[in-house]
Structure 1
Amino acid sequence: MKKSILRSITGRLLILLLMLSMIFSTGVFAAVDSEKTDTDNTIDTKATGDIGVQYRGHIQNKGDVPLPVGNFVSGPGELGSQSEGLRLEGLRIELTGDVPSGAGISYAVHVQNKGWMDTVENGDFAGTTGEGLRIEAIKINLTGLDGYEVYYRGHVQNKGNIPIVDNDWGWVKNGAELGTTSEGLRLESIQIKIVKTETYTALGDSIAYGMSATPGSGYVNLFYNDLKGMSGNEDLSLVNLGVPGYTSSQLLNQLSSDPTTMAALSKAKVVTVSVGGNNILAPVIASLAAAFSLDPTSATFPAELAAALAQPGAEDIITATLPTIQTSVTASVTQFVTDWPQIIATIKTLAPQADIVVATLYDPINTQDPLYAIFEPSIQTINHTIMTPGAGYKVADVYTAFATYQGSEALVNFNWYIGSLDPHPTTAGHELIYQYHLNAGFIN
């Protein structure tokens, strides 16, 4: 009987390993997708943060405004007018608030008969006075000020409010041209504001990456859409740094050495983490590769493994390797327990103001399956580590969500009986993971 059970486990493990070798191939292990959804000029963002902007100008028939001379309009108030047909002839722009040393704002104007004039900065005058020449266009940039963007919009002769985005008055930003340069039209008014850039940064493995979900329907995308719809998050951008195949140690290395990750976290308002599954799966693949003398980093590894598993005696090799697999998995799970506090501490250091939500691991294998007894204890160890009380983050208990699910749609693609062995969540599974991120009770 014991031999029969072992044969059953070995046979299923052989099939599982073959499938995993295809899913976690070399190309996938190496893949990194940094998806940033930019706000562009389509969102009427709110000025936030400790840094603002103020400006004053010179207007046809009015002279220096606002009065008394020397006063400023605070962003995003309007400088100029939309109904008087008066040209904006010159202006000064400067930052306000806790401006770091070396930071500033630069701007250049396109003037009638003169073209683009030299760029000036930090309150210097751009344009003309006493010459009766109109400003036709402007470009504005921030300098030396990470974590902020400058947005601006205006009113142009014969065109009205610009830019128009999705049938509404939008904004341009960060050096984009506002106005016209070849139509002889005056810029009549301008509004400027400084926006603090914030991100939702997703970290982890292929589940965070969105593998096996309908494009755009991974839990990260769904959660981002929900966050962005909340007041105060209008300019929140998404940076998805999930990497298929990543283990806890690889995530920790990413946090401590990757400039893109560090930059994204420095602006993070929300961080989610989904990692740990590959601490179980990766050593299984590595042990199998060693057993068949294969190189798991080779581009042809999946094909080589498929050929090896098809050879006579493959089951015997796997059976003999099972103790090694168990030892390797145990060591990798133990490494997760070691890595996890460092991962969280590093995230908190890089993103001290961010709300952090961490997902537990689900078990894709049915409780009646012989492989359940192999994977379940490791999953429980990782989840117990994640759910450490008082760790300073919220937990999306995906394990419980999947284990107690009563719906009709499959949450994972893993099903021996129909030959579907992908352990990733389905689109329905990603939807449930997203719902449990909402249920985690993050702070808005």
Structure 2
Amino acid sequence: MVLSLGTPSVFAENSQGKDSLVALGDSVPFGYNLSEYNNHPAKNAYPYLISDEADLRVRNLGVPGWQTSDLLAAIKTNKKYQQAILHADYVTITIGGNDFLEILRTANAESGGNPQLFQQLIQQKLFTSQAFGNLTASIEEIRKLTDSPIVLYNAYNPFQLNNPLHHISNLFLPQVNAAFTGIAYSYSDVRVADAYRAFSNNQANYVIPQDIHPTIAGQEELAKIGLRALQFDYITR
């Protein structure tokens, strides 16, 4: 579950006159493990699939390993992020999965193998997590720069059905995603793409084996729900 931190990479399709999509977040929009070296965002990651379908320019600012605190810091202090958002016609956000994974890791370590204590610690750490405040502040900062539509992806279950953490995640991710929905609905034109429902229990197709990241089919599903949230038709896939 440990993700490698990466250096932000920006790829723009230089097609003058097109509307622009700015993708913010972690390794999911980056398309981690879809290419051999992970040295730049994968072209079959969902931001590029959305841009291909909707004829948009895309700036993929996803960074593997990022948590909500990293995204907030970038939006508040990084001129590249601020300028990209300022000129965006559409914004997508996928963040929070690494916050949740860290909660699972620390709760597991502190529980000493006690299943009941493990679940209690997850609940406690979710209640005190800064992730929700960071996400709220990030959207607040984005809204200072643009009133363009924002699509907020909620968290899918990244664990295969035979992994004990699959059941644990299904106990707590609805609570996490309900909080994300509440945050989204607190702002104008922030729409939720329901990755949790889209992936459901279909991790065998949508999550890379022995990994937590989406397969190409998973990225296509993320593109589909993103296009739907942006009110574009998903035509060819």
Task: Report TM bin, short chain.
Answer: 0.7 to 0.9
Q: 1:325 to 1:390 in 2, by over 3 A?
A: closer
Query: Identity of aligned pairs, percent?
Result: 25
Q: Does 1:220 align with 2:17?
A: no
In structure 2, what is the Cα distance between the partners aligned to 1:256 and 1:326? Answer: 34
Question: Secondary structure of the equivalent of 2:210?
Answer: strand
Structure 1 segments, 4+ long, off by >6 Å, are none
Question: Secondary structure of the equivalent of 2:62?
Answer: coil
Q: CA deviation at 1:280?
A: 1.2
- The answer to whether the Cα contact below 8 Å between 1:29 and 1:245 also exists between their aligned partners in 2 is yes
- The answer to whether the Cα contact below 8 Å between 1:357 and 1:442 also exists between their aligned partners in 2 is no
Q: CA deviation at 1:211?
A: 1.2
Aligned to 2:187: 391
The unaligned stretches of length 5 or more in structure 2 are 36-41
Aligned to 1:199: 20
Q: TM-score, normalised by structure 1?
A: 0.45
- The answer to whether the Cα contact below 8 Å between 1:38 and 1:238 also exists between their aligned partners in 2 is no
Q: Does 1:410 align with 2:200?
A: no
- The answer to whether the Cα contact below 8 Å between 1:410 and 1:428 also exists between their aligned partners in 2 is yes
The one-letter amino acid paired with 1:378 is F
- The answer to whether the Cα contact below 8 Å between 2:51 and 2:58 also exists between their aligned partners in 1 is yes
The unaligned stretches of length 5 or more in structure 1 are 1-19, 40-44, 47-196, 229-235, 292-316, 414-419
Q: 1:198 to 1:366 in 2, by over 3 A?
A: closer
Deviations 1:54-82 (A, max 9, x none): xxxxxxxxxxxxxxxxxxxxxxxxxxxxx
Deviations 1:130-166 (A, max 9, x none): xxxxxxxxxxxxxxxxxxxxxxxxxxxxxxxxxxxxx
Which protein shows a greater Rg? Answer: 1
* Count of aligned residue pairs for this structure pair: 223
Q: Does 1:341 align with 2:130?
A: no
Q: CA deviation at 1:267?
A: 0.4
Aligned to 1:37: 13
Q: 1:435 to 1:384 in 2, by over 3 A?
A: same
Deviations 1:79-134 (A, max 9, x none): xxxxxxxxxxxxxxxxxxxxxxxxxxxxxxxxxxxxxxxxxxxxxxxxxxxxxxxx
Deviations 1:317-349 (A, max 9, x none): 952799579636743563222222212111111
In structure 2, what is the Cα distance between the partners aligned to 1:227 and 1:443? Answer: 7
Matches within 5 A, 1:59-138: none
Matches within 5 A, 1:135-284: 199-213=20-34, 215-228=42-55, 236-284=56-104
Q: 1:253 to 1:328 in 2, by over 3 A?
A: farther
In structure 2, what is the Cα distance between the partners aligned to 1:284 and 1:255? Answer: 27
- The answer to whether the Cα contact below 8 Å between 2:22 and 2:60 also exists between their aligned partners in 1 is yes
Q: 1:213 to 1:30 in 2, by over 3 A?
A: closer
Q: TM-score, normalised by structure 2?
A: 0.79
Q: CA deviation at 1:395?
A: 1.4
Aligned to 2:168: 374
- The answer to whether the Cα contact below 8 Å between 2:107 and 2:121 also exists between their aligned partners in 1 is no
The one of 151, 159, 176 aligned to 1:357: 151
Aligned to 2:38: none
In structure 2, what is the Cα distance between the partners aligned to 1:424 and 1:242? Answer: 13
Deviations 1:180-218 (A, max 9, x none): xxxxxxxxxxxxxxxxx8531100110011113354111
The one-letter amino acid paired with 2:73 is N
Range that drifts further, 362-371 or 216-225: 362-371
Question: Secondary structure of the equivalent of 1:225?
Answer: helix
In structure 1, what is the Cα distance between the partners aligned to 2:80 and 2:132? Answer: 26
Which structure dedicates a bigger proportion of its chain to helix? 2
- The answer to whether the Cα contact below 8 Å between 1:212 and 1:427 also exists between their aligned partners in 2 is no
Q: Which has the higher contact order (CA 8 A, sep 6+)?
A: 2
Q: 1:361 to 1:260 in 2, by over 3 A?
A: same
In structure 2, what is the Cα distance between the partners aligned to 1:380 and 1:241? Answer: 27
